[in-house]
Structure 1
Amino acid sequence: MTTDDLPVIAAVDGSAHSWEALDWAVDEAVRRRLPLLVVHVRPRAGHGEEEKGLREAGELLAQAVLRVSGRAPELPVSTLAPLDFPSAALVSLSRDASLVVVGSRGLGGFRSLMTGSDSLATASMARCPVVVVRTGRTDGSDAEPAATSLDVVAGVAADESSGAVLDFAFEAAAARPGGRLRLVHGWTMFSSILSGGPVFDSEAAAESAERALAELTAGRDEKYPSVEVVREPVRGSASRTLVTASATAALTVVGRRRGGESLGLGLSPVAQTTVTHALGPVVVVPS
């Protein structure tokens, strides 16, 4: 298997959120023309319980395969049921994956928590991009989910650290004809000073942030001519804009800062807020 056909991994545990994530993963695998690997991580059981756990895992994965075949009959699909802690197993498997897709909460999630600890840990430490799926179909409310557009929204820093985020975002937008790529960048007067930009003129600082975004995307505009790009410099934190946009975006893309992965501290404040409070699918892209 080459790096071009590494699978999309979908983690399932029998919860409604994981079935929602599986459906999203199937659609993305078809869009990317990649195989799908459905993973159910078996919890460590007491003596004599392993056979029961293995049987239940087999039944769950068979149900998942049936669901996949009903949605995408031609999609190559395989299954795996490792015995481990969920985030540890998914982080390990992410070394040989194009994408890992998880639900916002699993069977052990509390309703008061928008995102489960396993989802956050996986997004913080995985070696490949991780999508945390939330579409509103499983939030328990009677309200209809917001209509989803084809737009891809990306939170970017106006420097070279956003290269991986931009690459992923442009590719995702190109795979969704008819949508736009919205690039959101939060700036402050302090960040303008640090970058050598205007010090006291906020209008000039905003224009400087706009130019920086244009410079970042110059080469990619040529590579993806079909992608309509909207640049959105936002004064202050970009978190509010990203969370609001996520309600109707096809996908919201954020980056993961360098360092801290071994301690599970790979998410920046903007990424953590976006993943935790987003109203739609969010992908965390490692630098």
Structure 2
Amino acid sequence: MTSTDRPVIAAVDGSSHSAEALDWAAREAARRGLGLTIVHALAPDRPSEREDRRREADELLARSVRRVAEVAPSLSPSTLTPLDYPSAALSALSHNASLIVVGSRGLGGFRSLLLGSNSLAAASMADCPVVVVHSGPDGEDEPERAPVPSDIVAGVAADESSEAVLEFAFETAAARPGARLRIVHGWTMFSSMISGGPVFDRDAAAEAAARTLSELTAGWREKYPQVEVVREPVSGSASRTLVTASATAALTVIGRRRGGESLGLGLSPVAQTTLTHALGPVAVVPC
């Protein structure tokens, strides 16, 4: 199965957050020329309740299909109602998906939580990139939020994990004509020291970070010449920079290391903070 055969999956549960995620998924599938599958998982329950819940699921999926017809008329979405817990269903479906899109919170979440358990589980365990679409405080974008942002922001580390993040970020930017890609690399004097770089000379450490970022991104501009690229080596907190940038970004892209899924260790502190506090959509890419 090639990447063009793998659909974008949108998880819906009837909440306003999942409706916004559905809109985002539909537009992204249309941009990339991919199919769209709308999923509503039915958690196992008593057989006596299953028929009513199945009927409610069918109604929700029918409404979702109608919504997609308004947002992205070129799509003909399919629907699925797996009998499983949402996080487990999405994890299983991720093996044959290009992208999973979820809302930041669902119907079962407490309003005080910044990120729902299913969203966090999907971002931590999926085999494909997961986009978490953050909403305003009441499930709606703030009315004063302004013109639709076009920047794609990617947070990269000084190691091989950056390849997958950069690939996804460049693909996303290329699908948006005129989009600018901002590549952020956070550094500190401590990180310079442990990488064998300058220890006491801040200017030299800054230059070393800039060189590292240039090396990480070498070759990508040739592959995607249509994408405007801005490199941003940042001294200090990378997560603070990414959270701030997310307020005016169409998408913020971060990485997640494979191998820690069973223990919930895939998300680094920077990724966890960015995903939890971001002010716009965040893509978590397994590396």
Question: Normalised by the shorter chain, which TM-score bucket?
Answer: over 0.9
- In structure 2, what residue type is equivalent to 1:121? A
SS of corresponding position for 2:222: helix
Q: CA deviation at 1:141?
A: 8.2
Cα offsets for 1:153-174 (capped at 9, x unmatched): 0110022221100111111111
- Alignment partner, residue 107 of structure 2: 107
> 2 CA distance for matches of 1:139 and 1:54?
25
Q: CA deviation at 1:252?
A: 0.1
Cα offsets for 1:236-278 (capped at 9, x unmatched): 2200110011011000000002321112221111111011000
> 2 CA distance for matches of 1:2 and 1:171?
15
140 and 38 in structure 1: CA distance in 2 versus 1, 3 angstrom threshold: closer
> 2 CA distance for matches of 1:215 and 1:251?
23
- In structure 2, what residue type is equivalent to 1:252? T
Contact 1:151 / 1:181 at 8 angstroms: preserved in 2? yes
TM-score normalised to the size of structure 2? 0.96
- Alignment partner, residue 84 of structure 1: 84
Root-mean-square deviation (Å): 1.5
Contact 1:124 / 1:256 at 8 angstroms: preserved in 2? yes
Aligned length: 287
> 2 CA distance for matches of 1:229 and 1:137?
32
Contact 2:154 / 2:166 at 8 angstroms: preserved in 1? yes
- In structure 1, what residue type is equivalent to 2:227? V
Q: CA deviation at 1:136?
A: 2.9
> 1 CA distance for matches of 2:140 and 2:15?
13
Larger deviation, residues 171-180 vs 213-222: 171-180
> 1 CA distance for matches of 2:125 and 2:141?
31
- Alignment partner, residue 248 of structure 1: 248
- Alignment partner, residue 264 of structure 1: 264
Indicate yes or no: 2:42 matched with 1:42: yes
228 and 278 in structure 1: CA distance in 2 versus 1, 3 angstrom threshold: same
Cα offsets for 1:198-238 (capped at 9, x unmatched): 11101110111111111111110111111111111111220
Q: CA deviation at 1:137?
A: 7.9
> 2 CA distance for matches of 1:179 and 1:66?
29
- Alignment partner, residue 6 of structure 2: 6
- In structure 2, what residue type is equivalent to 1:151? D
1:100-249 pair list within 5 angstroms: 100-136=100-136, 138-139=138-139, 144-249=144-249
> 1 CA distance for matches of 2:172 and 2:267?
21
Q: CA deviation at 1:175?
A: 1.3
TM-score normalised to the size of structure 1? 0.96
Larger deviation, residues 106-115 vs 30-39: 106-115
Larger deviation, residues 133-142 vs 69-78: 133-142
Larger deviation, residues 122-131 vs 255-264: 255-264
Q: CA deviation at 1:89?
A: 0.5
> 2 CA distance for matches of 1:279 and 1:171?
22
Contact 2:136 / 2:142 at 8 angstroms: preserved in 1? no
10 and 248 in structure 1: CA distance in 2 versus 1, 3 angstrom threshold: same
48 and 74 in structure 1: CA distance in 2 versus 1, 3 angstrom threshold: same
Q: CA deviation at 1:126?
A: 0.1
Q: CA deviation at 1:193?
A: 1.5
- Alignment partner, residue 26 of structure 1: 26
> 1 CA distance for matches of 2:25 and 2:142?
25
143 and 65 in structure 1: CA distance in 2 versus 1, 3 angstrom threshold: closer
> 1 CA distance for matches of 2:60 and 2:284?
27
Q: CA deviation at 1:138?
A: 4.4
Cα offsets for 1:39-90 (capped at 9, x unmatched): 0011222231111111111111011111111222221210000111111110
225 and 261 in structure 1: CA distance in 2 versus 1, 3 angstrom threshold: same
Q: CA deviation at 1:140?
A: 6.0
- In structure 2, what residue type is equivalent to 1:70? E
Cα offsets for 1:120-179 (capped at 9, x unmatched): 011000000000002438446865334432100011002222110011111111111222
Unaligned runs of 5+ in 1: none
Contact 1:153 / 1:246 at 8 angstroms: preserved in 2? yes
- In structure 2, what residue type is equivalent to 1:236? G
Contact 2:44 / 2:84 at 8 angstroms: preserved in 1? yes
Unaligned runs of 5+ in 2: none
